[in-house]
Every structure is written in C-alpha cells, then in structure tokens.
Amino acid sequence: MKRPLRILTWHIHGNYLYYLSQVPHEFYLPVKPGRPEGYGGRLPGFDWPDNVHDIPAAEVKATELDCILYQSHKNYLEDQYDILSEAQRRLPRIFLEHNPPRQHPTNTRHPVDDPEVLLVHVTHFNELMWDNGRTPTQVIEHGVMIPPGVHYTGERPRGLVVVNNMARRNRLTGADIFQQVRREVPLDLVGMDSETLGGLGEINHDELPALAARYRFFFNPIRYTSLGLAVCEAMMIGLPVIGLATTEMVTAVDNNVTGYVSTNIPWLIQRMKELIAHPLRAQRLSDTARYRARQRFGIERFSRDWDQTLRAVVGRETAVFPATTLPLSETTQAEMHG
C-alpha cells in the first residue's frame, strides 16, 4: 500500500480546502501569529479531518515534505521565498488556479511560467481563458459533499443567493443584478458581509446545506468567476439553479432541465416567478439537478483525480495526468430522460 504524501499548502479558500482534505494524503497548513490571510490553518467552521495539520510557518523549513501546492499568486510570488527552504522550492510543485484572469479575459499570461510546475485549473473555462505559456495544465473539476439526511424540500417560496463580500466586489459578483432582481422576486443573501446589503450574514459551512434545502431555488448573480462551489453544493442538494449564461455556468445548468441560465435578466426573473408559483415544476428540476451533480461533482471522483495527480507529480510522471470528468454526454442525457 502506498504511503500518504505530505503536502504543504496554504488556507486560501476554506470550502475548497475542506473538500481537498478528503483526498487521502497529509496536508500541512502554515500558520503565523494573528493568522493573517493565507496563514489561518484549521480555521473554525469546518469539521477538519485528522489528515489536516497546522504547522508554525517558522518550522516549515525543517519539515520533510513531498509536494508544494500553491493556491494563490502571492503563495507563488512571495510566500514560497518567505517560508520554504531552497531545497523545498525544488520539490514537486502544483499551482492550483481558482480564478479566471482578471487583467484581461484572454490575453493575461499566468504568473507561473515553468515546465516543471503543474498548473491545475478548477474549470475548463479557466484553462481556456488564461495564457498558460509553457506550463503544463490539468483540469480537476470541483467535488462537493452534502451532510447525510439533507435533501431538497423547497417549501420556502424564495430564492437563495450565496456570495461573500458582494458589496465590496460589486459588479464582479453581480451586486447590481441582485438588487435589480430583489425588487421583483423574494431573495435572501448569505455570505461574509452580506448584512451590508440586507442579507442574513455568514452561515457556517456545515449548517448551510440544511438552510439551503428549504429554498425554492438558488440564484447565482456572479458575472465573472470560476464555477462557484456554492453552485455545485446547491445542485447536490437538489436546488434548481438560476444564473447568468457566462463562464462555466453554461455547462453546469441546462435550461428547463436543472434550472435556467441566460444573459437576459428579465427572462430569468420570469423563470423565478414561475418556480415560486409552481413548486412541482421546481421539484422536477430538483430531481435532475441532484442527479447531474452526483454524476459530475461527486467527492469520490474529485478525490480520485487529486490522488492520481499528486502521485503523478511526486513521481515525476509529468506527462501523465488523469482524465477529468466532462459534462454528461448526449447519450447519458438521453438515457436519463428515458
């Protein structure tokens, strides 16, 4: 039996890190006094498994590791020179890119330009839009888990929106769209600093699924991002998803099958009103959304992809990476709809 690998990474996106911790390896998270950004370690709000370890940043250089997993540009451009030894900086390395390019959507060169580093994108959209240069790339799509016993009920005739810091991030996260829709459709906003826009505040990760399951639908107003984990989680619960027909969303949601996507906001508003008025229609979409999510965003597939990729990189098999799970084929869709 192969031994678990020792992976150093930073706490950048808590939800993603929690799902990554389901991969059967040992993860070491550097922490600094005061737990500044990236150095928070095992922050509260998650049921961290025993394979996730906090380690003082000052002790990292004396720690035996197998792989370095960067999760932000700051990790790669600054942090590695601050906490890693010269030998550790030559270890097998992966850069996990969570976001599409910001400076320019098509002409931005990724800061990693190294054929010895594997650049992992979380969506095919991200891989498509970044100029990846000479760095080899791999796509590992999201994987999520829902607590046992949580399932869609939809008894609350409202939509749920889950976005962190929407007011500060403004048009990027669709703050204007959210406020436009809210004037016609009852919506509740959840996330960090959501109170600024009249929201419900931040809800712990392990408490959110049970709350979300009661809403009639999930609305994602974000204009430009990767496919949000909140969208995948909502689908896994069984919420019909309504969102903008941009980025990877167009591959995750099929109109009148798992939800609705469009760039026409009044059209989306009309679909929301219909779901509120017709709960049986929402239930039909719910059943298919949950099925699709299990097929595409299951934690088992996610864990398997990451395990194979980590072992390939550590084994220097940089030309061999696992095939990622693609959207359901037309054949599978036909079988599903019978």
User: Is 50 exposed, middle or buried (CB count within 10 Å of its CB: 0-12, 13-18, 19+)?
Assistant: exposed
Position 320 scores a pLDDT of: 40
Fold of 6-143+298-314: Rossmann fold (3.40.50)
Mean pLDDT to the nearest integer, 61-72: 98
Sheet containing strand 93-97, edge to edge, reads 52-56, 26-31, 6-9, 67-70, 93-97, 117-121, 137-139
Helix (H, G, I), strand (E, B) or coil at 56: strand
According to the model, what pLDDT value does residue 160 have?
Answer: 98
Interior CA angle at 208 toward 205 and 214, to 5°? 170
Query: Considering the entire predicted model, what is its pTM?
Result: 0.91
Domains 6-143+298-314 and 156-296 share a fold: yes
Distance of CA 101 to CAs 73, 108, 133, 164, 224, Å?
A: 12, 6, 14, 19, 10
pLDDT single digits (tens) 68-99: 999 999 999 999 999 999 999 999 999 999 99
pLDDT in tens, 139-194: 999 999 999 999 999 999 999 999 999 999 999 999 999 999 999 999 999 999 99
Q: Which two tokens stand for residue 288?
A: 């298919």
Least confident residue range of 12-21, 45-54, 66-75, 325-334: 325-334
Options 3.40.50.2000, 2.60.40.1730, 3.40.190.10, 3.40.50.620; CATH of 156-296:
3.40.50.2000
* Domain locations in the chain as residue ranges: 6-143+298-314, 156-296
